[in-house]
């Protein structure tokens, strides 16, 4: 074999390896047309990694997806991204954790917007679903109202809210314990809750919403959860109120019943 042929063969091998590397790069989590959008999980007030950690583990055990990315947002809004190198399997699950888990609706929704913008620019994710527990559902809704430029952020196909008190937390005792800016936003008739209702005209027209609540939730009581009807048009909203006096606020994200409701809404309907 001549030196020229060796060089040509080497060039072909380099090209082939490059194509394979691009195709199977684990860090790519791109949401392609007709593919299942990644689902972003947003914890609530005083939430931590554990808020959705067990649910995501159950989803993986059921074969309902894989947790490919974890975003940590610092007190000053800086992002740390942990790529778990599992982005080729679908559906892709993404967990967001705010270090300041008692910040205002405004700050937290801005941080969520930074996360989603990073997903779009870094991983070419063009559409997502969002699942939010408690204040995470409120913050996710505010994100949809305030950050809807499709050139900057992924389009949101579906939103799931779990135990989200859209009319505020009715318990006086709750606010004797919690006195930070997020707690102020969670009070009935707060300026932050009023803005959610006023700005509902800015919601994307095509987003579909599932609201899950429980009769055993004494933080986000059914009446407050159902207040979402004043924000989301009826043809975009599905409500599931679980009749279970033992299913409390934090127990919602540990419930396999809730798991199944989310799975059905996000993925089974799409397959049908």
Give pLDDT, residue 21: 34
C-alpha 161 chain-centroid distance:
9
Tell me, yes or no, if the pTM score tops 0.85. Answer: yes
- Parse the chain into domains and list their residue ranges: 40-271
Find the angle CA(139)-CA(177)-CA(197) to the nearest 5 degrees: 30
Residue 11 tokens read as 């060039």
Neighbouring residues of 55: CB distance < 8 A, sequence distance ≥ 6: 41, 253, 254, 258, 259
Q: 161 with 211: CB under 8 angstroms?
A: yes
Q: Partners of 237 in the beta sheet?
A: 209
H-type alpha helices, the chain: 3-23, 49-61, 105-123, 135-146, 172-177, 181-185, 191-198, 222-225, 256-263, 269-271
Give me the residue label for tokens 């559906």: 91
> What's the topology of domain 40-271?
Rossmann fold (3.40.50)
Q: Mark 238-248 as b/e (b = at least 16 C-beta within 10 Å).
A: bbbebeeeebb
Q: How far, in Å, are 124, 125, 126, 204 from residue 150 at the CA level? A: 12, 11, 8, 11
pLDDT in tens, 44-83: 999 999 999 999 999 999 999 999 999 999 999 999 999 9
Residue 147 tokens read as 């950050």
What number of H helices and E strands is found in the chain? Answer: 10, 8
Half-sphere exposure of 243 (CA within 13 A, CB side): 0
Residue 33 pLDDT grade (very low, low, confident, very high; cuts 50, 70, 90): very low
What is the average per-residue pLDDT within 240-248? 98
pLDDT in tens, 188-225: 999 999 999 999 999 999 999 999 999 999 999 999 99
Half-sphere exposure of 108 (CA within 13 A, CB side): 29
């Amino acid at each position: 074999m001549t030196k020229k042929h060796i060089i040509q063969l080497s060039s072909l091998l380099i090209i082939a390896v490059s194509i394979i590397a691009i195709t199977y790069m684990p860090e790519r989590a791109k949401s392609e047309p007709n593919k299942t959008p990644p689902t972003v999980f947003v914890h609530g007030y005083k939430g931590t990694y554990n808020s959705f950690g067990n649910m995501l583990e159950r989803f993986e055990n059921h074969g309902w997806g894989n947790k490919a990315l974890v975003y940590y947002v610092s007190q000053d809004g800086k992002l740390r991204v942990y790529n778990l190198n599992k982005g080729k399997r679908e559906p892709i699950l993404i967990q967001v954790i705010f270090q300041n888990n008692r910040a205002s609706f405004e700050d937290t929704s801005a941080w969520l917007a930074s996360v989603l913008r990073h997903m779009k620019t870094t991983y070419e994710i063009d559409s997502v679903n969002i699942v939010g527990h408690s204040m995470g559902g409120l913050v996710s809704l505010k994100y949809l109202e305030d950050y809807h430029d499709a050139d900057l952020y992924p389009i949101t196909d579906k939103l799931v809210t779990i135990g989200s008190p859209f009319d505020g937390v009715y318990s006086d005792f709750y606010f004797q314990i919690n006195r930070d800016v997020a707690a102020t936003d969670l009070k009935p008739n707060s300026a932050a809750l009023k803005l959610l209702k006023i700005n509902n005209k800015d919601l994307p027209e095509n987003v579909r919403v599932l609201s899950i609540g429980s009769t055993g939730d004494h933080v986000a009581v059914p009446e407050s959860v159902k207040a979402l009807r004043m924000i989301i048009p009826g043809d975009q909203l599905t409500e599931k109120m679980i009749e279970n006096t033992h299913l409390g606020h934090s127990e919602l994200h540990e419930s396999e019943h809730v798991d199944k409701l989310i799975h059905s809404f996000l993925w089974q309907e799409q397959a049908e």
